[in-house]
Amino acid sequence: MSDELKNENEAARPIQTEQKKEVVAEKISEISKKGYQFLKEDKVDEAILAFNSILQLEDNNNYALVGLGDCERKQNHFKNAVDFYSKCLSVHPGNNYALFGLADCYKALNKYHKAIDIWEQYLVHDDRNITVLTRVADAYRKIKDFKKSKEMYLKVLAMEDTNAYALIGIGHLYYDFKEYKDALYYWTKMLSINSDAVDIRVLTSIGNCHRKLKTFEKGIAYFERALEMDPENFYVLFGLADCYRGMNQQYRSIEYWNKILKNDPDNKVILTRAGDAYRNTGDYKTAAEYYNHAMEIDFDIYAALGLALICKGEGNYGEAVERLENLIKNDPKNYRLYIDLADCYLKTDDKNRAVEVLKNFQKTGTKSNAISEMLDKIIGGKPLN
């Protein structure tokens, strides 16, 4: 071969290599698009095959590794997804898609501190990404870091004051920290923005704020609106029942407790609440049926207390005393049991025993204003009501 021909061949090789790379890159791009289309269509197995075929063309390809991570995440195989995203980041540091996926996996695994660390890395590249900022705020809320969570939510709202995720999230943040008026402010704002397509969870959240603030009538309006959207929703029915209970309209609360029990007849908590409502209306027979049903499922101190209070209400003080004393043995720091026991003794004109019962509670080392006030009234000869 002549020197001239050799030189021509040498010069052609880099061009051929570059062309080959371009062909491979185009093929990878094509397969990657197909893989993500499969993923959108929930054809996860086909997507996995597509992304694996990319790895045959190029080891550690970032599209393939992120795609396989997304496939695993979509199937809730979060630990497997973590491996793919981590491998991608070891070869392609700072890949935003891998960072986002990895953080989401840690969040799903309840590893909120790790999720925050990853999202913070993401924000180094894009500190105005509303989706990521909201996720970071949510994660801080989960680890009960009120200050940082609030800061992140407010940062989002400063950029987009109608952002639904931030408004709902900051509402939950204030609710979790028992700042119900502030929670109400943000959730009501959310409602005013989306009044036509309101989420039932926003309505129940606002209703729950009113329950906590004891503004029961206002709460009922929101729960009733939610009831129109889902007549059998547990949280809606519970909210309505509890609001009517708070307003001392026991007959109305019974209606909603029973609606819950229609769908969940062995719900011990609801059986006891319904029992309380019947007892407070003076229907001891029906109340006892509900309490006994609850007790058949499993021991419940509130159902047991309800049965003791029925005895007391019927004037059967001896049995009420016996039941309450047995409950105190199992729950010696429950102040309410002592108050009801002391009241039984007062009903039988045994003031000394009533005082002794209340002083026994104080010996447990637990403080209770209700116990102290009752004791002071008995000793001072003042009426209890």
Q: Please give the pLDDT value at position 9.
A: 47
Confidence label for 17 from pLDDT (cuts 50, 70 and 90): low
- Three-state DSSP class for 91? helix
The domain limits of the chain are: 18-122, 128-197
Q: What is the mean pLDDT of residues 340-367?
A: 93
151 burial type by CB count under 10 A (0-12 exposed, 13-18 middle, 19+ buried): middle
Q: Please give the pLDDT value at position 380.
A: 82
Crossing angle, helix 284-297 and helix 301-313, to 10 degrees?
160
Residue-wise pLDDT for 317-331, tens only, equals 999 999 999 999 999
Tell me the CATH architecture of domain 18-122: Alpha Horseshoe (1.25)
Q: What is the mean pLDDT of residues 118-124?
A: 89
Q: What's the CA gap between 223 and 239, in Å, rounded? A: 7
- Three-state DSSP class for 143? coil
Residues 200 and 231: beta-carbon distance below 8 Å: no
- Find all residues with CB under 8 Å of 134, minimum gap 6, and list them: 152, 153, 156, 163, 165, 166, 169
- Find all residues with CB under 8 Å of 230, minimum gap 6, and list them: 200, 236
How far from 255 is each of 202, 212, 226, 277, CA to CA, in Å? 24, 21, 17, 10
**239 or 32, higher pLDDT:** 239
Q: What is the mean pLDDT of residues 80-100?
A: 93
What is the average pLDDT score of the chain?
A: 92
pLDDT at position 5 over 70: no
Cα dihedral 113, 119, 121, 127 sign: negative
Q: Residues of the chain with pLDDT > 70: what percent?
A: 94
Fold match between 18-122 and 128-197?
A: yes
- The CATH number assigned to the domain with range 128-197 reads 1.25.40.10
Cα pseudo-dihedral 307, 308, 313, 318, rounded to 10? 140
Residue-wise pLDDT for 277-292, tens only, equals 999 999 999 999 999 9
Q: Please give the pLDDT value at position 198.
A: 79
Q: What is the mean pLDDT of residues 89-96?
A: 91
